[in-house]
Structure 1
Amino acid sequence: MSSTQPVPERQAWLALTALCAGLFITLMDQALVAVALPSIRAALDASINQTVWVVAVYLLAFAAPLLVSGRLGDRFGQRNVYLAGMAVFTAAATAAAFAPTIELLIAARAVQGLGASLLNPQPLSIIHRVFAYDRRGAAMGMWSAVASSAGLFGPILGGLIVGSAGWRWVFALYIPFGFLAFVLVALLVPRLPTGVGRIDLVSAALAVVTVLAVTLTLQQGPDLGWPLWLWAVVGAGIAAAALFVGRQFRVSRRGLDALVPPALFGYRNFALGSFSVFTLGFAVYSMNIPIMLFLQTSKGLSAEVAGLMMIPTAVVSLALAPYVGRLTDRTAPGVVSTTGFVSMIAAMLLFAAMMTWQAPVPWLLVPLVLMGAANAMCWAANSAVSMRSLPSDLVGAGSGVYNTSRQVGAVVGAAALGAVMQVGIAHTDFSTAMGLTLVLPALLLLAGATAVRRFQPDSAH
């Protein structure tokens, strides 16, 4: 592979820094806004169900179009689609900050999620196009540090903002940061040539229906008691998925641009990485639920102090990820990823043991620090190895698939852990239930570790 830098390296790093500013605030949203939900419910006289939808509708609107938005970057330019997404996200955040009713707040959150979906796949594609092949691991390290730590900083900032200024300032925070991110990307990210013709609208519609059906079912099923109509939604999603897959093969055979080209999965590392990032999304984005409940309910910590407990994880992850990225460029594929997955499994099992045995709070710093190191190794290496061998004409589609895998994993993880927690609480004491819940993500990560161990040198295709 060529190591020629497509743009000057300094310009490439400035571009990535600008992109990461926007990426951080969109990925931080779920954890940040969750802290404000009790205040939102009280201020707007909302029901429990309406309050839950403030977060749920954002995740639905975020996840459903991801397959399409990655391809939109190929069609109209990653920079342009990112800017459009950031403009939509910031405008919707402004509407949310001033929303007078819960219904208008939920509507604004849906639009905000759409904006996040437009911009989220673009940084991976741009990294692939502006960094030399042997520098992409280092770049992915920075991207991964932002992506993996965003959710960890959410509870910290959310607790401080809600406690000192009120819930509306959670959304108002996005306005200056969104504007700054828009300006930085407009100034620092180069315009790149586009390489895809028209987008297959039928495939786009089928993709949105598929992801929407899956995420809606998994989000709402446990709370609604799995009513019959929800199973009909599942059936519609499965049917749409089957039609979508068949259409991708038919479109590709005709020599046209498929939304998700089947050729993507001919790249072994990409196929394995898309599965392993699903397991990462499942584990990392859901583990905070039982840990926070344990700290606040069993140990009696306030929401603010419980959020601050996550600082070691976030700091270690941010500090190590750039170095891990550079190490990924210099080692055989799978070495760093496997080390990261094994470390994350160990951290999950340590959490499970300490929570079950009611260990003193300071002891939890051990798995929290280990989780930070594991985060850095898993995300940076997985994204670098998965994406760097893709040719330019497939990178936008690949970015959409990769981000969708991560996001759907997060939704499945939250739903699965919620169900396991309910079963555990019914059969044992609260602390034991919270601890044993973390065994489930550890088991799924074992499947992810098995996948990344099978990474091969890129030339093996």
Structure 2
Amino acid sequence: MKARQNPWLVLATLCLGFFMILLDTTIVNIAVPDMSASLDASLDQILWIINAYVLVYAVLLISAGRLGDIFGPKQLFIMGLAVFTLASAACGFANSPSQLIVARIVQGVGGALLTPQTLSVITVIFPPEKRGAAFGVWGAVAGVATAAGPTLGGYLVTNWGWEWVFFVNVPVGVLTIALAVFVMPNLKLNRRHRLDWGGTVLATAGLFLVTYGLIEGEPHHWGDVWGPVTIPMVIGAGVLVLAIFFWHQYLIRDKEPLVPFSLFADRNFSLMNWVSGAIAFGMLGLFLPLVIFLQSVLGLSALQAGLAVAPVSLVSMVIAPFAGRITDRDRLGGKWLLVAGLTLWATGMGIVVWLAHVDSGQWSLLPGLLVAGVGLGLTFAPLQTIAMRDVPPRYAGAASGLINTSRQLGGVIGSAAVGALLQAQLATKLRVAAEANAQAVPPEFRDRFVAGFSDASTGSLHVGAGQSGVSLPPGLPDQARQAITAAAEQTFHEGFTNAMKVTLILPLVVLAVAAVSCLLVMRPTRPEPTKQPAEPATTPA
């Protein structure tokens, strides 16, 4: 079967693999309390379990997009699926935080190999007048996968345990590999490509240093980390290496760099890279503290917490295909649809933050989540259409890698930055709450009680469901233990809620700036062809 005869079947196969990859950027969040308790993992280790996958995924996307141009998107898609499926099984069998982090790194490699091939293939096999609808479906999958992670993860964790948020990938991965072998065309681009290994090393090293510094900053008090090396020095080194990377890319601009600068001559493509990163920054930055709040503060089970945020994915899934069709008919290419979507997304999550209190119920956050879901559903199709509209097919892989890289970098930086800010806020808010609740603790334990919460944010804080944030010392009298446990629980609930509300201002500001920046999107200068087939032509495998 040729792809041009049934591109929608190819799209379905691509979306199945893409759904599984993106699901793992958020499905793990809902399992955080369960993993923290089961693996005895601190908040610092939990941040690495989440970010190890997204970091490796992000830094390899550009290289993987180029590899797809070299060896063909079908080959890289299948290879990525195989690596990701095997790594998912290894994650489920991990019995320590370190083992899980290593397996998550391998998962990230598989996800990076697969993802750029999806947009590359869609750009080639669909004619311009149908790409908006195709990107609408793709966008719906992206939105639903990211937002549905907590819901599906909550069901799996509640019924089978945290391991099954990884084991569920195995049968889906095997099925998708089989479909890809028989359904996907073997696309050949009319040009030979090479991989910029120097750029790959520089981008990987720079992004790792920046992310490491953000995650480890608060546990090391933003001071020494290795001998005389400090956290600011690590972050500064990462920024310097990234600057060298872009300088290197500019020097080899005529020799096919990882980042083709000619793509950024298009203002819309440049803007959409920023907006894509901002959306991911807001999404992962908002959901990480929220799922901890729902379980560790409100006491919901993983399934209840997942259902509480399900309206975001359900509404966005319904809205996204309609947004794709509207984008196809819009003379401005979806500009105002994107502005409206980002505004509603930020507004909805702002309502969620406003409604979050220690005594909130499971459905108290519903009004904000519904508004956020509508906004999220309106963003993906116009974003991809605006970004990829004028990209030459021979650069489809590189452009796809860049737009996905921007999204994932936004996610990893958002998760790391929000995690760092949350830890910094907890250092203040927990101490304030501990001092306020210390009167309920026997006098001889009050100083130790306050001191325990003062040190809790430096990596030793535990956020498992039913935990009070810190571990009580052994040997306490029963009466004292009961009093301290009650006071500790109240302290953690108050401190975490107050810290979360301040922390989430950051992703909301990023989303608001992204909405305003979309006003700079340029309208199409000429109508797109309606009958000419997409280039380049496919060749049989």
- Partner residue of 2:132 out of 129, 137, 152: 137
Describe the superposition over 1:23-54 as per-residue Cα deviations: whole angstroms up to 9, x where unpaired: 11111113323344454455556666555433
Task: Determine the C-alpha separation between the residues in 2 that align with 1:25 and 1:369.
Answer: 24
Give the 5 Å matches for 1:322-337. Answer: 322-331=321-330, 332-333=332-333, 334-337=335-338
Aligned residue pairs: how many? Answer: 453
8 Å CA contact retained: 2:279, 2:511: yes
CA 1:419–1:207: 2 relative to 1, 3 Å: closer
Q: What displacement does 1:266 show? A: 0.3
How big is the shift at 1:443?
1.7
Q: CA deviation at 1:179?
A: 0.7
In structure 2, the CA distance between the partners of 1:390 and 1:82, relative to structure 1 (3 Å rule), is same
Q: Which residue of 2 aligns with 1:279?
A: 278
Q: For 1:438 and 1:18, how far apart are their aligned partners in 2?
A: 36
1:148 match = 143
- Which of 208, 213, 221 is matched with 1:212 structurally? 208
- Secondary structure at 1:444 match in 2: helix
CA contact (8 A) 1:352 1:437 kept: no
For residues 100 and 447 of structure 1, the distance between their equivalents in structure 2, rounded to whole angstroms, comes to 42
Partner of 1:114: helix, strand, or coil?
helix
The alpha carbon displacement at 1:302 in A equals: 2.8
Which residue of 65, 69, 80 maps to 2:60? 65
Match of residue 404 from structure 2: 403
Q: Which residue of 1 aligns with 2:510?
A: 444
Q: Give 1:306's aligned residue.
A: 305
Query: d(CA) in 2 for partners of 1:65 and 1:197?
Result: 17
What's 1:17 paired with? 12
Q: Pick from 70, 85, 89: which aligns with 1:94? A: 89
Name structure 1 gaps, 5 residues minimum: 1-5
* Structure 2 CA distance for partners of 1:103 and 1:419, relative to 1, 3 Å: closer
Residue in 2 aligned with 1:259? 258
- Do the aligned residues in 1 keep the contact of 2:29 with 2:291 (CA within 8 Å)? no
Would you say 1:203 and 2:199 are equivalent positions? yes
Q: Which moved more, 1:353-362 or 1:172-181?
A: 353-362
User: Aligned in 2, Cα 1:175/1:361: closer, same or farther, shift over 3 Å?
Assistant: closer
Residue number among 218, 223, 241 corresponding to 1:222 in the alignment:
218
**Structure (1 or 2) with the greater helix fraction:** 1
Matched to 2:257, the amino acid is A
Match of 1:64, SS state, is: helix
In structure 2, C-alpha distance between the alignment counterparts of 1:298 and 1:443, rounded to whole Å: 25
Contact 1:355 1:434 in 2 (8 A): no
Which piece of structure 1 moves more, 387-396 or 96-105?
96-105
Structure 2: unaligned runs, 5 residues or longer = 433-493, 528-541
Q: Which amino acid aligns with 1:113?
A: G
- The residue type paired with residue 284 of structure 1 is M
Task: Find the residue that maps to 1:31 and give its secondary structure.
Answer: helix
Aligned partner of 2:164 among 162, 169, 193? 169
SS at 1:214 equivalent = helix
Aligned to 1:369: 370
Cα contact 2:60–2:112 (8 A) shared by 1: yes
Residue 158 of structure 1, aligned match among 149, 153, 162: 153
Amino acid at match of 2:196: D
The residue type paired with residue 447 of structure 1 is: V
After TM superposition, give the deviation of residue 189 of structure 1 in Å: 1.6
Q: Identity over the aligned pairs, expressed in percent?
A: 36
CA distance in structure 2 between the partners assigned to 1:225 and 1:424 by the alignment: 13
SS of 1:118 mapped into structure 2: helix
Q: CA RMSD in A?
A: 2.6
Q: Is the 8 A contact 1:356 1:436 kept in 2?
A: no
Return closer, same or farther for 1:95/1:453 CA change in 2, 3 Å cut-off. same
AA at the equivalent of 1:457: R
Structure 1: distance between partners of 2:350 and 2:46: 32
Structure-2 separation of matches of 1:171 and 1:357: 31
Letter of the 1:349 counterpart: G
Is 1:316 matched up with 2:315? Answer: yes
- Change in Cα spacing, 1:419 to 1:205, as seen in structure 2 (3 Å) is closer
TM-score normalised to structure 2 length: 0.77
Judged with a 3 Å threshold, the aligned counterparts in structure 2 of structure 1 residues 53 and 444 are, in CA distance, closer, same or farther, namely closer
Counterpart contact for 1:312–1:368, Cα < 8 Å: yes
**Residue type of the alignment partner of 1:276:** V
The answer for the alignment partner of 1:3 in structure 2 is: none
Distance 1:371 1:247, change over 3 A: same
Matched residue, 1:181:
176
Q: CA deviation at 1:303?
A: 2.9
Where 2:521 maps in the other structure, the secondary structure is coil
- Would you say the 8 A contact 1:68–1:400 is kept in 2? yes
Describe how 1:31-50 pairs up with structure 2 within 5 A. 31-40=26-35, 43=38, 49-50=44-45
Name which of structure 1's ranges 261-270 and 363-372 shifts more when overlaid on structure 2: 363-372
1:43/1:7 Cα in 2 relative to 1: closer, same or farther (>3 Å)? closer
Report the counterpart of residue 457 of structure 2 in structure 1. none
Q: Would the aligned equivalents of 1:286 and 1:413 in 2 still touch at CA under 8 Å?
A: yes
| Residue deviations 1:192-224 (CA, integer Å, cap 9, x gap) | 113342212112211222222222222332333
CA offsets 1:35-86 (integer angstroms, 9 cap, x no match): 4445445555666655543333222221221221111111111121111111
CA distance in structure 1 between the partners assigned to 2:41 and 2:400 by the alignment: 37
> CA–CA distance in 1 between the matches of 2:363 and 2:237?
48
Greater CA radius of gyration, 1 or 2?
2
Structure 1 residue 359: deviation in Å? 6.3
Q: Which residue of 1 aligns with 2:388?
A: 387
